[in-house]
Structures are given as structure tokens and as C-alpha cells.
Structure 1
Amino acid sequence: MLFNPEIEQMPLPQLRALQNDRLKEQVAYLHARVPFYQRKFAEAGIDPATFRGLEDLTKLGFTKKTDFRDNYPFGLFAVPEAEVARLHCSSGTTGKATVVGYTAGDLDIFAEVVARSLAAAGCRPGMKLQNAYGYGLFTGGLGIHYGAEKLGLTVIPVSGGSTDRQLQLLQDFRPEIICAIPSYAQVLAEEMQRRGIAPEAINLQLAVLGAEPWTEAIRQQVQAGLHVAATNIYGLSEILGPGISQEDVDERGTGSYVWEDHFYPEVVDRLTGEPVAEGELGVLVFSTLTKKAMPILRYWTGDITNIYYDHSVKRTHVKMGPIRGRADDMLIIRGVNFFPTQVEDIISNMAQVSPYYQVVATRRGSLDEVEVNVEVAESLLRELGLATAALTAEHLQQHECLRQLQGSFAKKIKDNIGLSMRVNLLGCGQLPRSEGGKLSRVKDLRELK
């Protein structure tokens, strides 16, 4: 379903002209209102009167997370505080939070792109949506909420966590749609199986998942466990929130449409900052084209992906591939560039292990070491008569198939990634589960010593 056919199917030349006009307007707007950008433009020799739009975009440099912290709380705002209709912020892992603001017009755009995204995900007016994204300062809960209402959905605002309540409402209210973080959707599917709740006992048809990277293996687990079609929604607070891009339910696995009339995407080399060719991997960069409270130009997201046009499908907007990792999460181990999601790709083809894993990097003397903790599939444990949450060295000695699994996994890692890693097999439930928030699958302990 197309929520806004005129925009979603706009011919590319017309779309590019619209982007160009909006970018020039945005540069002039920021130059007049935001000292941070006034300084950046002066340093780059940018004059809004002669700025040519997209062809001059790379001259603007990048806006980075540190710029938000340096201008905390409202230094990047382009309107007086009295014109800000809502404030959100993301938690700061190293100091101050990232603060973002919206005018009433910004909130209308927010609702529009989320409605557009939910329609692409297969949602239809009259359906019920259980919103398991966190409300409050996190943009996910309220962002999805108002977009769902704009589409004509009935919203059940459960917020994140509270698994007992989530499952109860899924059975009692029988919503067709659930929105959640992928790792929490895994938890719900796992809990349903553990409690003996059959998928037929609920009425879900669609799962709209985002806020953390996820893989086809997680998609398959969620789809099988909840009996849904699961699609990816992408967003980040600094640009808007959820609804920057979205998978179409009929085109799952082929990328997510970026709503280019509001967000201009680039992919650049993580080391040089230079744009890469269409389809090549690099760091995703966004410029807001219509936001007024806090417009941002060339925001360095840190997310590694690629963008490309798929001319055989129903929309003209560019697609972005799955997030392969983060530029700052890339580990350099003994000279090899390594993204932890490469381990996840291997796991997706191994039925004997579950999708739950954790990568741990340490340093012994001057040598970097990496080990992978992964849970053995519950079906294999039952087959071996090991109905336990804990696996011990004794279990490994007793069961040749576990030793073979451990060796096979380590060999696949060596063959596919080029690194030797220790593999630790764990029982069910030994690794952390999401409680509705983002789940970290990487522990880099090298800086702690």
C-alpha cells in the first residue's frame, strides 16, 4: 500500500529537483539562524547566495555526535524555545545526552513518514497495533504512536518491557501488528514457546522492527515464532526518529526505502569521508531537507550500509541495505577488520545454535584475542537429554556432537572471516535477553586493562 503515491512514485528527475530546492533553502535557513552552521559555512567558504545545492553538498563537511554534545542542550536549534513543540533525547553513554527538538510542523512530518512506513510494512487502517517501543524521551514510542494514528490504526501503547503484560494483551486485545526492537521480538517468540502459547492463540500478522541492527536469521526466528511478516524500520533521533526508511512487506530482504523528499542520504568511505559508488558499503550520512526546529546537514550516523536504486519495484526512492555494523564498532583484530555481525551471518546457517551470541575481545600482553559465546539450540539439547540452562566442560567431554559443533563453528569463522576465535557453547538462557531496550552483542574489554 502507498500512503502518499504522488511522492513515493515521483519520477527521479522531479524528486532530485525537489531535493535540490529544499537543500538550498535549508542552507540559507541555517545560515541565518544557527551560529554552529554559520561558522561551518564560513570555514568551508560557503555563501548561501551562491550555493548550488546537491552538487555543493560535500563542501559542507560533516556534523557528528560530538557537535550535539558541544552545543548541549539547545545550541543547534534554529527556532526560539517557545516554538519547540516537543523535546526528545537519547541517553549519553559518555557524558551528556543528545537533545533533539521538533516544531509542530516537524511533528506533522514525523507522523507522515511513519504512516508511510507502516503502510509499506503492510498495515491498513482499522488494524490494531501493539506498540512495544519505549515511550518517554526515546523517540520510538511516540514516533510510532502518532504515525500509526495518522494511518488510521488503533494504537495499544504498552511501551517496552513487561513481557507478562505484552503476552496477555496479545491474547486479549488480539492486535494484528506489533512494533518492537528485534531482540525483544525474539524474547516474545521464545517466551510464547516456553509458556506453551500457540501462535494461533494470538492474532498477529505483522511485526515492524527497528532501533538496532538485525539479520535474516532473526527475521526467520521472529516470523516463525510469532507467525508474522517482519519488516525493518530505520531511524535515529538526531535526524528525526523512526520512519527515515522502511522495508516493503512484499519486498523483504531487498532493502528499505529512504523517504528522500525529507532525508537526503549519502554513503561515504569511513576513513576518507569521500562518497562511494552506488551499492558500495560505507558510513551512512543524512541531511534533513524539511526539518525546522533542528535541521542537520550531513550527519555522520556511524552506521555501515549501502544505498542503491531498485528500478523494478513500486517506488522510485532509493533503498538502503541492512546495517552491517557501526564504524565505531568495527574491531581491528590482529590487522583484520572485523564486524561482529559477520559472526551472525555464520550463525544464520547453523541450525545447531540459536541466534543468541556475544563477541568478546580481550588483550593478552600485546596480542588481541576474540571469543564467541553462543547458545546451543534447544532442540539439540533436548536430543542429547540435556534439559539444562548450563553447559559444562563435562558435557562437552560426554557428547562428541558438541565438540564437533564447537570445532565446526570455529572453522567456519576462520574460513569466512580469517580470524581464529575461541568458541564457547552455552545453554539456553545464559546470554542476556532484551527487556525492550537495545541489546549489545559486543564486549570490547581491551581498553579496560
Structure 2
Amino acid sequence: MPLGLDTPSTIGIAFAVLGPVYVATGDAMLTWYVGMATMIVIGVVKVVFSFFGGWIQRIVPQAGLLGSLAGIGLALLAFLPLLDVFKMPVVGLASLGIIIYTVVANNKFPGNIPAVLAAVVVGTIIYYILGPLHLLGVPFKSPEMALHVTFPLPTLGFWNGMKAAIPYIPIAIPFGILTIVGGINVTESARVAGDDYNTRDILLTEAVATLIAGLFGGVAQSTPYIGHPAYKEMGGRAGYTFLTGLFIGIGGILGYISFIVDLLPVAAVAPILIFIGLVIITQAFQVCPDRHAPAVGFAFLPIVADLVLIEMGSLLGVLGGDLSKLPPDLASTYQVVMILGHGFILTGMLWGAIMALVIDHKLNEAIAYLMVTAGLTFFGVIHSVMPNGNLYLPWLIGNSSPYLFTAAYVVFAAFLWIMKISQKEHVNALAK
């Protein structure tokens, strides 16, 4: 199963931990130490939670596990790369067309050339033909090779940043929990695709990888990658994962990764991510019972909120992050989108599970899930009202939203309880 850097938390740690530390201290080394310490804390949290992963996988309906994953496939793996495709439409659609014809429609590429390789190569060739002619639609940039040899060395430098990292632990813990949830969902996706991995082992692997990163100066955590069924369809097996890790590892030592990134146009590579996203979406609807299709779709929505949050956040950044510069209605919408987007993968899993249980008339279990969701909401594990998505004690932050969102889930649970009682009374009346 592929493993790599977790993009959302990498961005989140940069903006919510590293940036504030550097702004407050102006000390780059201390900022680095705090980042390392944060990784160690996240790694420890993940080690603890990894032992509960299998249990969670067994009790959560597939609509929750796969629906939230499919939401990521739709919003983050398919839609965002689609924007990159159409920034350079000739390059992007050439590559995407090859992917659709070969991998999606199951046709052979001429000469039995691997289809994914062909898509990237064709798109790249078009890029370097059109680029110098200024026909791409975006500025053309030639890659520059700058090799250097840097061996990773273990360090206890994280200890120097541990004290300064303590205030940021409420921010770090949700990032760790989200990758644990993602790891559970990815393992379930692999299982229904025919590869029944031990969930605890997968989660422990990502936890240990995160700890090792912290010990070697890393400030970005690891996570199992979404898209296992798609990798299988493209012919990827254990050797693919091993060689990828080897290639990236050596590239980090020698410094050629940045050259490869600059060499390959994003528009030529993005169609691969689109295909992976489509496979994940398809799997969720094919594997889950037909009656759970609404639950699968419902699980998409928090991830869509995160997508909107990303785009609105970019626009807000141009305004210096000042909500007061937005019209009141738009500022209010942004706040709601932010709350819905925080903890998106866990929220999606819970929403999908709740709806699936209601569809199956398992109201007691649905009520239990709603109360768990309410508890997580109350402390900001999901639906955090803080801009950086951190945990909190709601009575200390001077914001009524945690109470309102928590109450909403409790009211929903109370409604289901009333319906359950009324149905029971109705059945008893008919029996008499």
C-alpha cells in the first residue's frame, strides 16, 4: 500500500504551527525544532489510536468508511487536478484523453506502452513543443538541475522545541486523528478491492514513519495514500511502492526531486489523480448496498466544504485574512464552510454512517453515533470554530457555535429516539 506525505496536514502545520512560531520568535531553528516536536507528538497519538483502528473499521458502516474516501476522490483528487488540466488545456486533455481511452475504457496503447507512462510522456512532449512558442496559456519554465548530496541524520533536536510546541498540541492532535481515520478508510478500500491488510499494522506503519520523520528533522507526517484500487488497475503492486520509496528517498539525498517536479508539467500528471479519484468514487457506490447510495453521497459533503474552504481561504488570503472586508453574508458563509470543513474526513465518515444506520432502521446505533458526533463537535475535534482547526474547551473561547452545533446533533438524536418510541408503541398497539 502506498505511503507518503499527508498534504492537508502539511499545509495546516505550516500555517497553524510553523508560521506562528516563526512570526512570534523570529528564530528559524526554534521553528524547525517545534515542527519536529509536533511530529513526535502526532506520531505518539497515532501509535495509540492505531490499536483501535480494526475495531472502528468493523463497526462503522461501509457507507461512512468509503463515502468519506470517495468525497476526497471527488473534491481533492478529481476536481482540484482538473483545474490544473485546464490551465494548460492542450497538454492536460491530451494526457487525460489517453488515460480515459486506455485505463478507464480498458484499451491497449499502441506498442503495448504502459498507458500511464504514455499519458505523461505525450503531455510532456506537447508542453515542451508549445512552451517556447508561448502557446500553453501559462508561462513556460525550463527545469534546472541542481544536484547536492545530503544524508539524513537522526537528531534529538525536537526536544529543544518540545516546550514551545505544547501550545500547539491541540492543533497537532486533530491532524493525527484525521490521518488515522484516513488510514482506516484506505485499508477498507483495499480490503474490498481484494487486499485484506491488517488495519493495525497499516496504522502503526504510518505512525512509526511519522516518528522517524520527527527524529530526522521532518515536519510533515506520513499517511497511507488513497487510491489502492486504482494503483492495482494501473498494474502497481508491492514492487511499485518499494521502488517509489527508493526513488524518492534517493532523490531527497541527491536533490533531483525538485528537478523532476519542474521537468514534468502538472497538467500531464494531473489526469492520473483524476483517474484515481474516479476509481474511489466508483468503488464506494459499487461496493456499498444500493440503499446506502444516499449515505455515500451525504458523506461527500464535508469534503466539498473543505474544497470550498481551500478556495475561499485563498481569496481571503489576498485580503490579508480579514473577514471584516467581506460582505456580512459572505463572511457568515465562510464561517459555516470553515466549521463544516474542519475535520472533514471524520465528519464525512460519521455522517455517512449515521444515514446508513437510519436507512437500515438501526435507530439505537444511529443515536449512539449522533451522540459521539456531538461530543467530538463540542471539543472541536470536528467542526472546530477556530481558524486553525484546533481543539478547545468551549467555555474558554467565548463562542456559542460549539454549543449550537453540539445541540443540533443532540436534537437530531432526540428526534430519532422519539420516533423509535412512537414506532414501538404503534407496533404494540397493532399487536393488541
Please, what TM-score do these two structures have when normalized by structure 2?
0.25
Structure with larger RCO (C-alpha < 8 A, sep 6+):
2
More helix by share: 2
Please, what TM-score do these two structures have when normalized by structure 1?
0.24
